[in-house]
Structure 1
């Protein structure tokens, strides 16, 4: 079974091929440079960039693999959650291909795809506990199978990835700044008391990062010298050494606080869900070095393996959509051409048609 995956939920245009569960190839067009000028993703621009990139990436991908559209058995597309205009670009492209080739169409939950992406490189075990940490979402799931995800906890306001990017922006570091916060934090010293860890003294599995964002904003207001004079990347060779040291300490402390918040809730979830066979951590923030280290400690505490996608499969990509689509298609799930895009803030429905058993 040859499955094409199409990802266009935000600012990455990704297409990839998976054959019988094995990754073959992918093409990815990033819009980071375009949106960095605005300090964040501009939905209208992102949609137009997807429209421009999709045909070219598809032709390059198929040509390099000596394939044609008629070779496709399944076309999987991210149908949500995401920016609606962006999702529609990928969805309409997928429907056009399916209509012209006769390939089966399957809409993929973008969030679930992140969590199953590790299956491209290692065996997934069920049931598992899944932590999704990205720019738009911070969710905990009980994953019973490749098509059964039970939401246990979610962010009530801002996501972890957004907190990283907004922290960088406060210091005049360009979007997306989360990776820079992680890298510079490695050079700093953690002060566990620098920032509070809000919304952990409760008994639920939900998250809140708005309080942490406020604490960082107040800290920067009180220490304006840490802010770069103009937008750019901190340079340890030209900046004042004391400023560099303090800024890196701030990043180290911020990394620690986010990871500690995640640790508390995941630990609580594992205590309440005995018998899970692994801890899966996915999404863009799963590439953060401190988060990976802390989650490894949590998994060790409960004597279960930590399952992490490789760094290239943590951020939005077509391979995760192709693999998730393959798993669903293998179990007999399909969509018709009434398939709708589901914007962020709405629950992605499980409205498949099942045509056969695995």
Structure 2
């Protein structure tokens, strides 16, 4: 099966072709430089950039792959969650292709696609325990099948990636701050007692990173020189960072990573999850060095294999959308043209719920 995937949930415009679980070709346009001027993603600008890029990227994808739309068996597109305007641009493009070529259409849950993407590089043996950790979401799932993901825990406020970006912003680091935070942390020595492991005193699997941000802000106000150092890094690059700044970044990232690990270990120890075969970690923050190390320590401790996607598959991409769309199409799922996009803040049902009764053609 050849699946065309389309991803426009935030600030990456991406298309990919996946055949039988392997990427044939992919293209991507980033909007990082545009949004860096504003210190974060501007939704309206993101929508306009998706509109500007999509047609040209589609042509480039088909040119590189030497394929045409006639060869595509199914079209998959991100339904949500994400920025509503951005999602609508991708959905409209996908619907137009499906209608014009009379192709089946599958609308994909962006979060589930992140977790399932690890199957592109290594076999998936269900059930899995999945951690989705990104700029907008921090979720724990039990994964029994590509169309059976059950949410066990979620963030109550900021996601882990957002907490990292905001700490970087407190330091005066440029956007995107989370990436720079990781680079600086790799050069530092973490103090495991400097920052708390937030919301770990409860027995739930939910997350809350607001307490960590408050602790970090309090520390920086008591050590204003660190913020001046952050501004120097903004102007002169990471080589200008002092050991003390790198140590604080490492300590903050250790607190985030160990919080994620503690909650995942708690989920693994639940009686209903004793049959879990392995641990899958995905999302943009899964590319972080300390998060990957903490998850590996958890895997070694519990004897569960760790499934980590390559760093390219951690960030937003269309390969994961095409792969997930193909998995769902093979299980009989599909959409008609009237499906709606679901923005961040509106919950998609845990059963990939956007998926209605199976529909064989895009014009159904």
Give TM-score scaled by structure 1 length: 0.96
Taking a change above 3 Å as real, the CA distance of residues 132 and 234 of structure 1, as seen in their structure-2 partners, is farther
State the Cα distance separating 1:198 from its structure 2 match: 1.7
State whether residues 134 and 283 of structure 1, in contact with CA within 8 Å, keep that contact through their aligned partners in structure 2.
Answer: yes
Secondary structure in 2 matching 1:232: helix
1:109-136 Cα distance to aligned partner (Å, 9 max, x none)? 0000000001111111100000000000
Equivalent residue number for residue 356 of structure 2 = 352
- Residue by residue over 1:236-279, the C-alpha shift from the partner in whole angstroms, topping out at 9 and shown as x without a partner, is 65x4xxx7111001001011100110111000000001010110
The alpha carbon displacement at 1:354 in A equals: 2.4
2:78 aligns to what SS in structure 1? strand
Aligned to 1:21: 21
Q: Deviations over 1:3-47 (max 9, x none)?
A: 000000000011000012211110000111111111110000000
CA distance in 2, matches of 1:75, 1:39: 34
Mapped partners of 1:325, 1:47: distance in 2: 23
**Quick one: distance in 1 between partners of 2:130 and 2:343?**
22
Q: How far apart, CA to CA, are the structure 1 residues paired with 2:346 and 2:238?
A: 44
Alignment of 1:123-162 (within 5 A): 123-162=123-162
Please state if 1:255 is matched with 2:225: no
Matched, 1:208 2:208: yes
Which residue pairs with 2:70 in the alignment?
70
1:271 aligns with 2:266: no
Structure 1 stretches of 5 or more lacking a match?
none
Distance apart, 1:235 and its partner CA: 4.0
Separation in 1, partners of 2:177, 2:236: 11
Judging changes above 3 Å, is the alpha-carbon distance between structure 1 residues 206 and 70 closer, same or farther for their aligned structure 2 residues? same
Equivalences for residues 43-122 of structure 1 within 5 A: 43-122=43-122
SS of the residue 2:242 aligns to: helix
Query: Is contact 2:132–2:283 with CA below 8 Å preserved after alignment?
Result: yes
Query: Residue by residue, what CA displacement relative to the aligned partner does 1:127-149 show, whole Å, maximum 9, x if unpaired?
Result: 00000000000000000101000
Distance 1:138 1:152 in 2: 11
Q: Cα 1:19–1:246, aligned 2, differ >3 Å: closer, same or farther?
A: same
Paired residues of 2:104 and 2:359 also in contact (CA < 8 A): no
Whether the 8 Å contact between 1:173 and 1:233 is mirrored in structure 2 is no
Change (3 A) 1:338 1:235: closer
Are the aligned partners of 1:83 and 1:343 in contact in 2 as well (CA < 8 Å)? yes
Paired residues, number: 352
CA contact (8 A) 1:77 1:106 kept: yes
Partners of 1:236 and 1:244 within 8 A in 2:
no
- How far 1:324 sits from its partner (Å)? 0.3
Contact 2:335 2:359 in 1 (8 A): no
- In the TM superposition, residue 355 of structure 1 has moved relative to its aligned partner by 5.3
Q: Which residue of 2 aligns with 1:298?
A: 298
Alpha-carbon separation, structure 1, partners of 2:282 and 2:309: 7
Per-residue CA deviations over 1:134-184 (Å, capped at 9, x if unaligned) read 000000000010100000000000000001111111112111111111111
How large is the Cα RMSD of the aligned pairs? 1.4
Q: 1:179 to 1:229 in 2, by over 3 A?
A: closer
Match of 1:245 among 243, 246, 249: 243
Alpha-carbon distance, 1:229 to partner: 3.7
Q: TM-score, normalised by structure 2?
A: 0.94
Determine whether 1:334 maps to 2:334. yes
Partners of 1:15 and 1:317 within 8 A in 2: yes
Residues 80, 233 of structure 1: alpha-carbon distance in 2 compared, 3 angstrom cutoff: farther
Is contact 2:141–2:150 with CA below 8 Å preserved after alignment? yes
Partner residue, 2:197? 197
Matched residue SS, 1:131: strand
